[in-house]
């Protein structure tokens, strides 16, 4: 039991846990409770009506903003100690791999906590269907893509505006997908991009998402080898 606690503590602290509990209850409360709540929360906005729905879009972006906030907090903590951490590894690649995986595990654990809370509330409320699992997986894959971009962006650009850019980009993808009827652009929204609706196109969209994650990982490794990151990873003031 103690080792489980130590393992969890390695990735999430008490503040993360409290924040995710509040977030999950809050997002559950705002869902319409028409059908399944998990579907309401995580499946996104249907683009079939060709009307841009601002409030649901805001809710959709809020879902991501929360995870971005938690991960950015962790990234900023890591950056503070980076000088002391980095030289303890022999190779940059070793550190980067560990950092990338650690952040994804932290994100996964936070997401799991919110799913457990949503699932529990769902069981009290009614039913937990197979569709719920598909919705969760599609959302989590999309979230993981943005988290990968966030982790890589933190190293490459060393700027705090990456999450804002990602949220704007996600919002723009929704608007473009509505205006030009391209539902696969919002591939995190199960309501638009599911195998059930789009068939093989949905699968291609998911594969592209996985490729984006791999590209994020490989880009940082490559940029380090090219020497581009030397003034980004450890801030270099001439002294």
Q: Which is nearer to other proteins, 9 or 159 (CB)?
A: 9
**Least CB distance from residue 94 to other proteins, whole Å?**
9
Quick one: which of 4, 34, 54, 236 contacts other proteins (CB under 8 A)? 236
Q: Is residue 6 a contact residue for other proteins (CB under 8 A)?
A: no
> Which residues inside 198-227 make contact with other proteins, applying CB under 8 A?
227
Quick one: which of 17, 61, 82, 167 contacts other proteins (CB under 8 A)? 82
Q: Is residue 88 a contact residue for other proteins (CB under 8 A)?
A: yes
- DSSP states of 192-231: TS-HHHHTHHHHHHHHHHHHHHHHHHHHHHHHHHHTTTHH
Stretch that binds other proteins, among 43-51, 120-128, 158-166, 230-238 (CB under 8 A): 230-238
**Least CB distance from residue 97 to other proteins, whole Å?**
13
Binding-site size, other proteins (CB under 8 A): 24
End-to-end C-alpha distance for the chain, whole angstroms: 49
Q: Which residues bind other proteins (CB under 8 A)?
A: 77, 80-93, 227, 230-231, 233-234, 236-239
């Amino acid at each position: 039991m103690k080792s489980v606690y130590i393992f969890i503590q390695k990735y999430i602290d008490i503040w993360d846990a409290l924040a995710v509990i509040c977030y999950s209850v809050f997002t559950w409360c705002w869902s319409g409770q028409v059908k399944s709540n998990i579907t309401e929360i995580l499946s996104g906005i249907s683009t079939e009506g060709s009307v841009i729905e601002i409030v649901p879009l805001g809710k959709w972006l809020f879902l991501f903003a929360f995870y971005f906030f938690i991960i950015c907090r962790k990234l900023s903590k890591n950056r503070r100690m980076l000088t002391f951490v980095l030289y303890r590894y022999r190779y940059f690649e070793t550190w980067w791999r560990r950092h990338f995986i650690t952040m994804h595990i932290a994100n996964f654990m936070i997401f799991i906590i919110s799913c457990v809370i949503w699932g529990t509330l769902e069981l009290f409320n009614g039913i937990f269907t197979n569709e719920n699992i598909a919705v969760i997986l599609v959302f989590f894959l999309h979230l993981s893509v943005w988290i990968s971009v966030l982790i890589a962006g933190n190293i490459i650009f060393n700027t705090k505006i990456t999450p804002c850019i990602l949220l704007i980009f996600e919002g723009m993808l929704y608007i473009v997908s509505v205006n030009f009827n391209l539902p696969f652009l919002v591939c995190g929204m199960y309501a638009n991009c599911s195998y059930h609706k789009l068939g093989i196109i949905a699968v291609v969209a998911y594969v592209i998402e996985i490729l984006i994650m791999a590209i994020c990982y490989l880009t940082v490794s490559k940029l380090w080898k090219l020497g581009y990151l030397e003034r980004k990873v450890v801030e270099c003031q001439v002294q």
